[in-house]
Structure 1
Amino acid sequence: MSDWFFKQGGRDRIIDWLSIDSKIDSMMSETWVRICDSWNSASSFFARFRLTGWKRLFNELACECLTLATGGFILLYALALPAFMEFSEESFLTGQYSVKFLDRDGNEIGKRGILHNDAVPLEEIPDPVIKATLATEDRRFFEHFGVDFQGTLRALIENLRADAVVQGGSTLTQQLAKNLFLSPERSIQRKLKEVFLAFLLESRFTKREILKLYLDRAYMGGGAFGVEAASQFYFGKSVRDVNLAEAALLGGLFKAPTSYAPHINLAASRARTNEVLSNLVEAGFYTAGQVYDARLHPAKIVEHNDPSSPDWFLDWAFEEVQRIAKGKGEFVLTARTTVDLNLQRAAEEALTSTIRREGRHNRVKSGALVSMETDGAVRAIVGGVDYGASQFNRATAARRQPGSSFKPYVYLLALENGYKPNTMVRDSSRSCGNWTPKNYSGGYGSGRRVPLSYALAKSYNTTAVDLSLKFGRDNLLEVVNRLGVTGVTKSCSMALGDGGVTVLEHTGGYATFANGGRLVRPYGILEIVNSRGELVYSRERDEPEPPRVIEQSVAEDLNRMLQEVVEAGTGGRARLDFTNAVGKTGTSSSYRDAWFMGFTGKYVTGVWLGNDDFRPTNRVTGGSLPAETWHAYMSVAHTDMNIPTIPGLRPHPVQVAERQRLAELASAEGSFANSDAQKPSNTASLMPGKTRDVLKQVSTAMRKASGQEPAEGPPGEKEAQPKSDLGRRAEAGAPLRSRP
């Protein structure tokens, strides 16, 4: 080490630290001397310009003004910066969806989103519309540069005189800035942003361009943005064709469309229209005589009330369209949906009639229902009792505790781990921390051994919790997530349905059981096309084949167990006399939520009843009102008795008879056609050939209309499947015990 730092002899080091220190001291000393000399030279130079008298006073004022200007510029920049941060080029695009919905047969059923149309040039917008807008919103529009200080002062004086806000000071450019970039909140910060953005818009666009943007982007009520869309919505015609009375009505909507829209408050709309007509006279655009006829003959409004509109379904379908179309750059769309209007009306009637008939006594004020086919095609959604009173969709957005209707997921976990419906389990459970489950009837279980299917049919809490602890709550979460049900968290009582789920997702989970184990993602959109008629989305083309998430044999075992719930368990009131029905009841703690989830071979339906404020019901259980509602709906939903067989179950006798009838009908038609073809053309007949052909066509058309076509048993149906005790008793006509 010493050889590296020192030369031979040990005195002369490789690094001369003393020399380096000396150079640093010398350089710093020289630098300081130079700085002092420069300062003295500068002082001597400026001393020559020493001012006195008025020159000094002028110099001091100039310096102060410069200082204030610099500070003002910095303050102005600080205030303007947040406004400039709000500016976005994307805001000039439409950016919001306008969707027309069709049912699965292609018939228009409603619209959602904005009604936007900026296809009318400014030159083709009638003068009355432009003049009504300027007379009411900004008479000095072509004279100011974004902010009308004179108009603002005048509005301030008028408001002070009236001791209320009777005039607004915002210019048309400021309103456009608010519409494009800002929220409608009332605050000083928002007003400052509005002012700076108005200056920015005026610097970038001409007055005519600003006016056109305003007429196209202002909200006019009824979901319509812009005067063209508003004219189509309110009058059923283009803005090119409006008269003075209609133009005045449009001009009065800019201030508060939700208050002055004629389909909301006709009286207020008429009063506002007369005010606009007066503004036209005050501004000098028209004489009193010219607006007199418009006062006598107010605008006629097109009615938009459609009581048959499936509003709950359309609200959800609109969200689905936005999810599917995100990133595709298309905003004006037409979507063909899966909704069945007959089923939608039946679902609404079943739910609302139950609540109106039984709700008061049972303290039930709200409910929801979702019905879909076994592949996830949603046919009906009811999100509440009265859409007009509340548009909150309880079927798709509300998360409520599913109670015991969650237990099939627990029993599915047991079946996947080797259990069978006849596996013996105990009516008891270990404790989880300081908590021990109790059964609905009270107590911690009898401790006796019962078949797995019997424990599910009787909805034992103890057995369900014991199975979740035995096979692992993390594994139970994996099962639930695998079936597309979210919102469930790990807890000691999770097997009893203590997590919040939506009716839509829960019904989708049961649909996976109904189709034999293939994943179901509830869907409501079949096709989407843009405004040019180009296909943007097709479910058949763009969606992959659903994966299998449950083994076929496991799903069949679970379905047989769920049948016992309806045939001899808590779901007896849901039993159907024309087809097999399976399902599960559910009741949350303190009777806050009551569920029935069930399916046939055709439809999967979930029903929830409760209260929006989470108040307890009058001891309503899933086996009572929800099961009755489910039964009422499913009884009318099935119009064709050729219902597929639920995987794992034997065909119902009604379905067997129906298939035999259709087969015999098809055979008779084939024999009739063959014999008719073999007949000589000159053979006489009691029925003329033309008459016979017409009758055959009528018969064929009627069968097609009702969906009755010859069909064989479902593929994979097990003819040699052993019958359960419940199955033999049902065929023998023996009465089955049920629990309400």
Structure 2
Amino acid sequence: MSDSGKKKPPLVAEKRYGKAPAKKTATKRTAKAKTKAKTAPKRRSAPKRSAKKRNPIVAFFLGIIRWVLRLIWAVVWRVSFVVGVVIALAVSYVYMSLPEVEDLLDGRARGSVTLLDRDERVFAWRGDQFGGAVTADTVSKHLKNAVVATEDKRFYRHFGVSPRGVASAVRINLREGRGPLSGHGGSTITQQTAKLLCLGVEYDASQWDSEAAYVQDCRRGSLWRKVKEAIYAMAMEVKYTKNEILSVYLNRAYMGGGAYGAEAATQRYFGKPAANANPAESAMLAGLLTKPSTLAPTANLGRSQDRAATVLRLMNEQGYLTDEETQYWQDNPAILSEAAEENAGGYFADWVMSTGPEFFTRNTTEDVILKTTFDGRIQQAAEDGLDWVFENKVREGSKAQAAIVVMSADGAVRAMVGGRQTKVSGAFNRAVQAKRQTGSAFKPFVYATALDLGGHYDDRVVDEPYCQSIPGSGQWCPKNYTGKYYGDVTLTFALQNSLNIPAVKVSEKAGREKVRTVAEMFGIESDLAAGPALALGASESSLLEMTGAYAGILNGGSSVTPYGLVELRLLGDDAPLMGTGGGIGERVITDAAARELIWMMEKVVSEGTGGRAKIEGWQVAGKTGTTQAARDAWFIGFTNEYVAGVWMGYDDNTPLTGVTGGGLPAEIWRETMTRVHEGIEPRPLPAFVPKPQSRAPQQRQRQGQGIEGVVNGILQDIFGGR
């Protein structure tokens, strides 16, 4: 049979290449599956799950919420964009107005005054002290680290403003019951620097009542001010590097004690440059930044050291110090330099500042150097002497005050204590500012007048009841302090025992106007009493004036102007702008009269009312003084080397109890001058040696005639052509 009638399978390429079997198998499996599916019983298909219908009310509100959120987002990003543009423009505007960083380092409105002692060592500062510009790279790394650790630990990571710091400050303020912007500010170092720069606003005297008002305006903490401060800070971040911003801060920050900037503060407190500050000193300086006046080590060293210990702990927590280093420096806290520890010459420095030209001292815009007559050793002696007497001789709780002035014979003031509280600045200075009755301390000028007119130490005067009619006041009858009368006495005896009646008689015979003239020429510038009580010290004077007048007696009878300023020059200049403002002036009494008066005043100490002022090995001359009702007590005296005056009393004129010039003031004088003369070879006073037989016949005839004979003899000499 023929096969032509059979249907032939189509030829496919797979057969030729050997792939047909695999396909065939797959085809067979598919066909088998289809067959099985057809023969299998028909299953029920699962019903379709219909979508859960949402509550229409919920759906409505969800839609509203989605719409509101989309609206808020649309508004927020647009507003944020606008605010960002405005901030960028504001920052750009401020950026264009910022000066070069070098112009920002010294921002003081006035200059500094540095006071040097007689050996040209710094002992005090006044004004706005600025030690010179420093940078973050030139100061000690410990100081740099301490400031960052204390004031802004994220300083090198933020862009001028720290949102985290602001949020933290707001939280603390609210927790402590204050307003969100009151108290902690969360300011970065950059923001603090912006505030120190007053956001670029310069001080203008025509716009502010004072510099203090300007500073207060710069420190305002309103919300708008904070916004401006943040913009200014961001502009600074764009304009300057981090270290440049820190440099401005380190130069402008006030660190107490009149010191502006790290260099001035390091010199002020530690006597070294800022580059050499160790970790303890750096921590103390950084600790001042929060409350510079309160925490200044010159105000309270212990409190300042406690604050420094906290700063050291912060430095440790931030990795600037190891545990061992932290413990070491906490155990060895910073101490003040010798000059800062002494806080020497507060009263003296204030006085010198008041004597110089105002535009170079109190209101200087320059940095000024004042060389003075101050002697720190003598100042310490005066303070120690005063303290010793009040601790050992005065009842506890006494409010009595005292003042001391020590000077050389030419009027160069070496030390000054204006009150019992010695570590002060700007306090009431009782040595200069207090005008008090001088009492018997005035009597040497009465006898100086008589001696200059030809009288002598052994001329005689009668101490007896004495009255004088005062027009408009009636009878005036002075009495001696003891209430006794001593009859016919010498001038020396009258002075050494401070007898009142002989002093009045001598004054009246010599002439009140002459006595007043002599006192004024010796330097007592206060108004002197017009009546006979002039001789008893009824006039008021300052301790400085009286001590200067006694210096005139010591130097041989020439007037003396007390002075403390030797030389004034500008910082960096060698040539002084002005020199000494005092010293020895014109002659008031003869040298012979001065020597005789010194001899009489030596008897006051060696044999009279001033016995408590004796110094072993030294000749001392002086005079006690006690005013009416013992409201004031004085002792002023001198050795061959120095003159010193002591006043004691109450500020409210309350009478002293059991105190006279020969008592506590003389003891203060002795304790002071004993310390002053330590290590000095004793030398005798420039007094004459009494030789009565050498006097001229006519002078000898005046002996025994009393003061009347003295005056009559003088008149004879004048009008007799002698």
Q: Common fold, TM-score beyond 0.5?
A: yes
Instruction: Report if aligned partners of 1:430, 1:466 keep a CA contact under 8 Å in 2.
Output: no
Q: Give CA deviations for 1:393-416 in whole Å, capped at 9, x if unaligned.
A: 544444443221122234445556
Offset at 1:354?
3.1
Offset at 1:518?
1.4
Offset at 1:621?
1.4
Instruction: Report if aligned partners of 2:559, 2:584 keep a CA contact under 8 Å in 1.
Output: no
- 1:112 paired residue number: 125
Offset at 1:226?
0.7
Q: What one-letter code is carried by the residue in structure 1 that aligns with 2:437?
A: Q
Higher relative contact order (CA 8 A, sep 6+): 2
Instruction: Report if aligned partners of 1:362, 1:619 keep a CA contact under 8 Å in 2.
Output: no
CA distance in 2, matches of 1:396, 1:265: 33
Of residues 528-537 and 241-250 in structure 1, the stretch that sits farther from structure 2 once superposed is 241-250
- 1:585 paired residue number: 624
- 2:212 paired residue number: 183
Instruction: Report if aligned partners of 1:312, 1:383 keep a CA contact under 8 Å in 2.
Output: no
CA separation of 1:518 and 1:152: change in aligned 2, threshold 3 A: farther
Q: Give CA deviations for 1:296-322 in whole Å, capped at 9, x if unaligned.
A: 566764321649976554641464267
Of residues 307-316 and 510-519 in structure 1, the stretch that sits farther from structure 2 once superposed is 307-316
2:443 alignment partner, one of 407, 426, 429 = 407
1:511 counterpart = 2:540: no
Instruction: Report if aligned partners of 2:134, 2:247 keep a CA contact under 8 Å in 1.
Output: no
Q: Give CA deviations for 1:77-107 in whole Å, capped at 9, x if unaligned.
A: xxxxxxxxxxxx9x94573434253454x6x
Normalising by structure 2, report the TM-score.
Answer: 0.60
- 2:710 paired residue number: none
Instruction: Report if aligned partners of 2:440, 2:623 keep a CA contact under 8 Å in 1.
Output: yes
Instruction: Report if aligned partners of 2:620, 2:685 keep a CA contact under 8 Å in 1.
Output: no
1:430 counterpart = 2:468: yes
Q: Percent identity?
A: 31
CA distance in 2, matches of 1:394, 1:244: 41
CA distance in 1, matches of 2:583, 2:424: 39
Offset at 1:497?
2.9
1:258 counterpart = 2:293: yes
Partner SS, residue 118 of structure 1: coil
Offset at 1:335?
3.1
- 1:523 paired residue number: 563
CA separation of 1:513 and 1:256: change in aligned 2, threshold 3 A: same
Q: Give CA deviations for 1:578-615 in whole Å, capped at 9, x if unaligned.
A: 55433211112322322222223333222333445544
CA distance in 1, matches of 2:202, 2:542: 35
Instruction: Report if aligned partners of 2:347, 2:416 keep a CA contact under 8 Å in 1.
Output: no
Instruction: Report if aligned partners of 1:601, 1:644 keep a CA contact under 8 Å in 2.
Output: yes
CA distance in 1, matches of 2:355, 2:416: 19
Offset at 1:325?
7.0
1:599 alignment partner, one of 635, 638, 644 = 638
CA distance in 2, matches of 1:197, 1:614: 53
Offset at 1:256?
0.4
CA separation of 1:323 and 1:270: change in aligned 2, threshold 3 A: same
2:411 alignment partner, one of 351, 371, 376 = 376
CA separation of 1:139 and 1:615: change in aligned 2, threshold 3 A: farther
Instruction: Report if aligned partners of 1:252, 1:276 keep a CA contact under 8 Å in 2.
Output: no
Q: What one-letter code is carried by the residue in structure 2 that aligns with 1:303?
A: I
- 2:647 paired residue number: 608
Offset at 1:323?
4.0
Instruction: Show the 5 A alignment for 1:272-311.
Output: 273=311, 290=319, 293=322, 296=326, 301-304=333-336, 306=338
Q: What one-letter code is carried by the residue in structure 2 that aligns with 1:116?
A: F
- 2:390 paired residue number: 355
CA distance in 2, matches of 1:567, 1:257: 53
- 2:97 paired residue number: none
Offset at 1:516?
1.6
Partner SS, residue 626 of structure 1: helix
Partner SS, residue 265 of structure 2: helix
Q: What one-letter code is carried by the residue in structure 2 that aligns with 1:316?
A: F
Q: Give CA deviations for 1:9-34 in whole Å, capped at 9, x if unaligned.
A: xxxxxxxxxxxxxxxxxxxxxxxxxx
Q: Give CA deviations for 1:133-192 in whole Å, capped at 9, x if unaligned.
A: 863899999769xxx999999967854542245324996344554997633899899959
Query: Aligned residue pairs: how many?
Result: 555
Q: What one-letter code is carried by the residue in structure 2 that aligns with 1:434?
A: S
CA distance in 2, matches of 1:308, 1:292: 28
CA distance in 1, matches of 2:157, 2:653: 55
CA separation of 1:327 and 1:448: change in aligned 2, threshold 3 A: same
- 1:316 paired residue number: 348
CA distance in 1, matches of 2:381, 2:284: 40
1:135 counterpart = 2:152: yes
CA distance in 1, matches of 2:259, 2:155: 22
- 1:53 paired residue number: none
Q: Give CA deviations for 1:233-272 in whole Å, capped at 9, x if unaligned.
A: 5677654577999767644422202344463414641476
CA separation of 1:470 and 1:526: change in aligned 2, threshold 3 A: same
CA distance in 2, matches of 1:599, 1:210: 58
Q: Give CA deviations for 1:630-667 in whole Å, capped at 9, x if unaligned.
A: 445556627666625425x2299xxxxxxxxxxxxxxx
Instruction: Report if aligned partners of 1:224, 1:233 keep a CA contact under 8 Å in 2.
Output: yes
1:269 alignment partner, one of 285, 296, 307 = 307
- 1:16 paired residue number: none
CA distance in 1, matches of 2:460, 2:572: 60
Instruction: Report if aligned partners of 1:407, 1:495 keep a CA contact under 8 Å in 2.
Output: yes
CA distance in 2, matches of 1:241, 1:449: 74
- 2:53 paired residue number: none
Give the unaligned 5+ runs of structure 2.
1-103, 204-209, 701-722
CA distance in 2, matches of 1:261, 1:634: 33
Q: Give CA deviations for 1:532-566 in whole Å, capped at 9, x if unaligned.
A: 472427868x8786322334344345434434434
CA distance in 2, matches of 1:452, 1:638: 34
CA separation of 1:185 and 1:571: change in aligned 2, threshold 3 A: farther
1:622 counterpart = 2:661: yes
Instruction: Report if aligned partners of 2:383, 2:422 keep a CA contact under 8 Å in 1.
Output: no
Instruction: Report if aligned partners of 2:344, 2:379 keep a CA contact under 8 Å in 1.
Output: no
CA distance in 1, matches of 2:169, 2:422: 41
Instruction: Report if aligned partners of 2:558, 2:584 keep a CA contact under 8 Å in 1.
Output: no
Instruction: Report if aligned partners of 2:117, 2:376 keep a CA contact under 8 Å in 1.
Output: no
Instruction: Show the 5 A alignment for 1:133-212.
Output: 135=152, 159-164=173-178, 166-168=183-185, 172=192, 173-177=194-198, 182-183=211-212, 191=220, 207=236
Q: What one-letter code is carried by the residue in structure 2 that aligns with 1:456?
A: L
Give the unaligned 5+ runs of structure 1.
1-88, 279-287, 653-717, 726-740
Instruction: Show the 5 A alignment for 1:518-557.
Output: 518-526=558-566, 531-532=571-572, 534-536=574-576, 546-557=585-596
Instruction: Report if aligned partners of 1:103, 1:336 keep a CA contact under 8 Å in 2.
Output: yes
Q: Give CA deviations for 1:216-245 in whole Å, capped at 9, x if unaligned.
A: 232213443212333455677654577999
CA separation of 1:306 and 1:183: change in aligned 2, threshold 3 A: same
Instruction: Report if aligned partners of 1:429, 1:462 keep a CA contact under 8 Å in 2.
Output: no
Q: What one-letter code is carried by the residue in structure 2 that aligns with 1:226?
A: G
1:335 alignment partner, one of 371, 388, 391 = 371
CA separation of 1:534 and 1:572: change in aligned 2, threshold 3 A: same
CA separation of 1:355 and 1:424: change in aligned 2, threshold 3 A: same
- 2:252 paired residue number: 217
Instruction: Report if aligned partners of 1:594, 1:620 keep a CA contact under 8 Å in 2.
Output: yes
Partner SS, residue 133 of structure 2: coil
Q: What one-letter code is carried by the residue in structure 1 that aligns with 2:445?
A: Y
CA distance in 2, matches of 1:485, 1:198: 61
Q: Give CA deviations for 1:331-364 in whole Å, capped at 9, x if unaligned.
A: 25373645272x5555445443333332229968
CA separation of 1:400 and 1:392: change in aligned 2, threshold 3 A: same
